Amino acid sequence: MPQRPSPTPPSVQPDTTLPAQARLPINRCNLPAVILGSLTFQSHPQHLEIDGVRSFYADLFQALHVLDTPQQRAQKFQDYMTVKFRLSAPEDAGAAQGRGRTKADYRQMLRGWFFDADGREAAVLKSWVESRFGLLTRYHKGAIHDRAEPHFALFLQDRASGLHNTNALETQMDVLHAFCQFELAQRFAGLPHLTLYRGVNRLDAFEVLSKSDRHHQVMLFNNINSFTANRDTAGEFGDHILTVQVPVSKIVFFSGLLDGLLKGEDEYIVLGGVYAVETSTY
């Protein structure tokens, strides 16, 4: 179970904004990237909503409101997605049978991310975050600080391969995000942050914007990242533990939202940007 957050250290200045090279000027949600990716947003989070999703799929959320348990809501969501996006019969949506990735759906995207955060499905997720939230990909098989770098070309290649001959994958992720936020509101009503952890072997692999002391830093994360609610689990992935107060509104998916997905590591998939981070040794 995620821990309630501790206050941001007073020595960290809450005015570090998202650098221009890490954001797009426009996006498809209710706040621009320069705000939702900033340190100020981490300290004072607001609701995030992709434009039009809750209204266009209002019938789903009306149905969810009358269900009492997470299990009932998860089943309703999955049934709705299967019917709405013709997941059991992709040819009905115009996908060419026997070609490309006609069976690829939101569940496969999440499984692909779980097994390889630099793989084809991960590239689709990173591209989705760019489009919807305006947070640019900073890492895919290597750092992407300049769009002329070879790693950027690899990212584009994986993205194209991941989206080819699929049925509205990014729109499926839109609805999943809205469902995740709906469910988080049921389980953590009124709670603005969760304390999450990430285990790493090298702190110098991260973009550090500022330091207040050896254990408190301001970092720029990739546009989408994995964390865990279990500190011991984080310790299995590296000797250094990053402890972050993550705004609930920046959680895209979490272990336990849907049966059979991301179960093993109590994983949370989180939007990136600028974060105040506490570092420690496991």
pLDDT score at 146: 85
pLDDT, one tens digit per residue, over 41-57 is 999 999 999 999 999 99
pLDDT score at 12: 47
| CA dihedral sign, ordered 77, 172, 26, 151 | positive
Where does residue 44 rank: exposed (0-12), middle (13-18), buried (19+ CB within 10 A)? exposed
pLDDT score at 241: 97
Q: What is the pLDDT along the chain (282 residues), one digit of tens a residue?
A: 565 544 444 344 555 899 999 999 999 999 999 999 999 999 999 999 999 999 999 999 999 999 999 999 999 999 999 999 989 876 665 555 555 556 789 999 999 999 999 999 999 999 999 999 999 999 999 999 888 889 999 999 999 999 988 889 999 999 999 999 999 999 999 899 999 999 999 998 899 999 988 899 999 999 999 999 999 999 999 999 999 999 999 999 999 999 877 666 789 999 999 999 999 997
Residue 52, SS3 per DSSP: coil
pLDDT score at 8: 45
pLDDT, one tens digit per residue, over 83-122 is 999 898 766 655 555 555 567 899 999 999 999 999 999 9
pLDDT score at 208: 94
Q: pTM score, two decimals?
A: 0.91
**Which contiguous run of DSSP H or E holds residue 251?**
strand 251-254
Tell me the one-letter amino acid at 114.
F
Backbone angles phi, psi at 141, to 5 degrees: 65, 10
pLDDT score at 10: 37
Tell me the one-letter amino acid at 40.
T
**Which contiguous run of DSSP H or E holds residue 264?**
none
- Give me the residue spans of the domains in the chain: 53-187
